[in-house]
């Protein structure tokens, strides 16, 4: 099936500096693709290139298999976007939400009906008669998204849609946005620096670092096999101190930390020479705690003695900070903490399977001889 939108070999430079490079990106009908990365990664520029709002220095853009240029009329007609820091004009919220429809020649009554539906989807239909200049920042964001959705675009572009919303409002906003955009837009390109947005809303995620794509895949694929330390951290992993590879045998690395502790790490598809410096990433939920005195055999390759340095509530779980040969962060249930009698200063043993650890190349740092 021909993709709805496709970018090939896109490049954009400013003042002689490369801002973004994209080998290939496809957006299929019914799909939500998130462009995820830190500030300055080139996400917003790439979105504008893909929507034909900015001219690329190289590459081509295709809409339903047809090559389109910057400012292509059909692409403009079939797309709508909410860019960063959206603005509304003077007038009612309903008139703002209906603006795109009216600009496309839709009659006033029909435009207002469709705009009201989009406002309801974003939870701001009660504000329809309110002067847009009286809205809060969060309300402006919702109305701007409703304005883009009201035209029921084939390609919806959303640039940082949850920016400016407080934490309490973000979850409800995401739930409304997901339901409304999937019913009113054919496909969506979502720009965000917040992994919570990408994981809650997207079918596929494209990660940009320094203007280049470093990984793409489903949310599940990124969590299971993050390609860089940055992506590992974005998907909830923790990074240990740097280590040095002692050797590799049967697909398992032996990595020595600065403390002298030796960790067994699944090598995966990466290859490291003896003496190579690495970062080690893990997910806190993959660490298992047992009583320090337990001697029963365990399947985990890594068994580390530790002292509880801190316990912090995180929702229904407890975030336990461990000190020892390998400083670790662990997430445990309150029941597990009570069963282990966890307390600051107490001793425990942390278990980690080799397959729960991942090594990444790192420059030499903080590792003794």
The ranges of the chain annotated as CATH 3.40.50.300 are 5-234
Q: Is the pLDDT of residue 316 over 70?
A: yes
CATH code for the structural domain at 5-234? 3.40.50.300
Are the CB atoms for 156 and 189 separated by under 8 Å? yes
Q: What is the mean pLDDT of residues 305-311?
A: 95
Tokens read off for 37: 């990365």
Residue 167 has pLDDT above 90, yes or no: no
Which of 208, 285, 264, 246 lies closest to 50, judged by CA?
208
pLDDT band at 257 (very low <50, low <70, confident <90, very high): very high
By the 8 A CB rule, do 210 and 41 touch? yes
Q: Is 36 or 364 the better-scoring residue by pLDDT?
A: 36
Query: Residue 131, SS3?
Result: strand
From the CB of residue 228, how many other CB atoms can be counted at a distance below 10 Å? 16
**Residue-wise DSSP of 265-283:** EE-TT----TT-EEEEEE-
Indicate where the chain has its CATH 2.40.50.100 domain(s).
244-361
* Nearest residue to 64 (alpha-carbon basis) of 82, 77, 48: 77
Looking at residue 368, its pLDDT comes to: 40
Burial letters for 137-152: b for 16+ Cβ neighbours within 10 Å, e otherwise?
ebbbbbbbbbbbbbbb
Looking at the predicted structure, is the pLDDT value of residue 369 above 70? no
- On the question of pLDDT at 57 being above 70, the answer is yes
| pLDDT in the model for residue 249 | 87
CA 91 to each of CA 37, 130, 353: distance values in angstroms, whole numbers, following the listed order: 36, 8, 60
Q: Which fold has domain 244-361?
A: OB fold (Dihydrolipoamide Acetyltransferase, E2P) (2.40.50)
**Which residue would you say has higher pLDDT here, 225 or 97?**
97
pLDDT at 365 (0 to 100): 46
Question: pLDDT band for position 244 (50/70/90)?
Answer: very high
- In SS3 terms, 279-327 reads as EEEECHHHCEEEECCCCCCCCCCEEEEEEEEEEEEECCEEEEEEEECCC
Q: Looking at per-residue confidence, does 151 or 87 come out higher?
A: 151
DSSP calls for 40-90: TSSHHHHHHHHTTSS--SEEEEEETTEEE-TT-HHHHHHEEEE-SS----S
Cβ within 8 Å of residue 82, ≥6 positions away: 141, 144, 145, 147, 148, 157, 158, 159, 161
Q: Is the dihedral of CA 159, 165, 168, 169 positive or negative?
A: negative
Mean pLDDT calculated for residue range 61-74: 95
Query: Pairing relation of β-strands 277-282 and 243-249?
Result: antiparallel
Structure tokens at 185: 């837009």
Taking the CB of residue 200, how many other CB atoms lie within 10 A of it?
A: 18
């Amino acid at each position: 099936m021909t993709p709805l939108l496709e970018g090939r070999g896109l490049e954009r430079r400013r003042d002689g500096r490369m801002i973004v490079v994209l080998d290939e990106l496809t957006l299929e009908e019914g799909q939500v693709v998130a462009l995820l990365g830190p500030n300055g990664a080139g996400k917003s520029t790439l979105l504008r290139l893909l929507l034909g709002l900015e001219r690329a220095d190289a590459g081509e853009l295709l809409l339903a298999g047809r090559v389109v240029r910057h400012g292509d009329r059909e692409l403009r007609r079939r797309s709508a976007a909410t860019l960063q820091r959206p603005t509304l004009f003077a007038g009612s919220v309903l008139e703002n939400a209906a603006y795109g429809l009216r600009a496309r020649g839709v009659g006033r009554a029909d435009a207002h009906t469709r705009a009201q539906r989009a406002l309801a989807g974003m939870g701001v239909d009660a504000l329809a008669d309110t002067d847009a200049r009286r809205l809060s920042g969060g309300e402006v964001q919702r109305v701007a998204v409703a304005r883009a959705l009201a035209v029921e675009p084939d390609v919806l572009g959303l640039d940082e849609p949850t920016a400016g919303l407080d934490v309490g409002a973000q979850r409800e906003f995401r739930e409304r946005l997901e339901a409304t955009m999937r019913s009113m837009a054919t496909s969506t390109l979502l720009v965000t620096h917040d992994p919570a947005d990408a994981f809650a809303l997207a079918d596929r995620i494209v990660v940009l670092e320094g203007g280049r794509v470093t990984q793409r895949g489903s949310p599940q694929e990124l969590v299971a096999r993050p390609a860089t330390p940055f992506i590992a951290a974005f998907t909830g992993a923790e990074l240990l101190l740097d280590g040095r590879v002692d050797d590799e045998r049967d697909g398992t690395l032996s990595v020595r930390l600065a403390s002298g502790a030796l960790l067994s790490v699944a090598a995966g598809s990466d290859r490291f020479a003896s003496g190579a410096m690495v970062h080690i990433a893990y997910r806190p939920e993959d660490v298992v705690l047992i009583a320090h005195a337990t001697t029963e055999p365990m399947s985990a390759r890594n068994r580390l003695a530790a002292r509880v340095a801190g316990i912090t509530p995180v929702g229904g779980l407890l975030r336990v900070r461990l000190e020892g040969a390998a400083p670790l962060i662990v997430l445990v249930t309150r029941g597990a903490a009570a069963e282990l009698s966890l307390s600051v200063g107490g001793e425990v043993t942390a278990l980690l399977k080799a397959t729960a650890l991942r090594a990444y190349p790192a420059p030499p740092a903080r590792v003794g001889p």
